[in-house]
C-alpha cells in the first residue's frame, strides 16, 4: 500500500469516526459524557488499530464499510483503556492535552472509561 493510500484510509476512518461520535453525541443527555466524547473525537490519536481492522477486512475480500462499526468499537475500546490507564498511572497529560482524569477528576474519569467500555 502506498503512503498516499494509507493517508486516504486514515482520513476516511477519521471522518467516519467523527460522524459516529457526532451521532452518539446527539443522543447523549449527560453533559460530562458529551464533553468527554467530544474531547476524545477532537484530540485525535494515530487510530492505527481501527485502520488495521479495515485493511484486514479488505485483505480478505470484504469492504472497509463492512468493518467500520467494528473499527469504531475498537477505537472506543482503546480510548476506554487509555482513560483507565491515565487513572492508574496518574497521568495528567494525554496527547499533549489534559488527560480525562485531569479534566474531570478521578471518579468521573472512571465512569467515562466504563461507559466507553460499554
The pLDDT score that the predictor gives to residue 93 is 96
The pLDDT score that the predictor gives to residue 73 is 92
Domain that holds residue 28: 3-117
pLDDT in tens, the chain (118 residues): 789 988 998 899 889 988 988 888 888 888 888 888 888 888 878 889 999 999 999 999 999 999 999 999 999 999 999 999 999 999 999 989 999 999 999 999 999 999 888 7
Contacts of 85 (CB under 8 A, 6+ apart): 91
CATH of the domain at 28: 1.10.600.10
Are 71 and 54 a contacting pair, CB within 8 Å?
yes
Extract the runs of DSSP E, i.e. beta strands, from the chain: 93-94, 97-98
Number of domains, the chain: 1
Contacts of 93 (CB under 8 A, 6+ apart): 99, 102
pTM: 0.86
Amino acid at each position: 500500500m502506498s503512503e498516499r493510500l494509507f493517508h486516504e484510509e486514515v482520513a476516511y476512518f477519521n471522518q467516519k469516526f467523527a460522524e459516529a461520535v457526532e451521532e452518539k453525541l446527539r443522543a447523549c443527555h449527560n453533559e460530562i459524557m458529551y464533553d468527554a466524547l467530544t474531547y476524545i473525537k477532537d484530540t485525535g490519536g494515530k487510530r492505527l488499530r481501527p485502520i488495521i481492522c479495515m485493511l484486514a477486512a479488505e485483505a480478505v475480500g470484504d469492504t472497509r464499510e463492512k468493518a467500520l462499526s467494528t473499527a469504531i468499537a475498537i477505537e472506543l475500546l482503546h480510548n476506554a483503556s487509555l482513560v483507565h490507564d491515565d487513572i492508574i498511572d496518574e497521568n495528567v497529560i494525554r496527547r499533549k492535552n489534559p488527560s480525562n482524569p485531569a479534566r474531570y477528576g478521578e471518579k468521573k474519569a472512571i465512569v467515562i472509561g466504563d461507559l466507553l467500555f460499554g
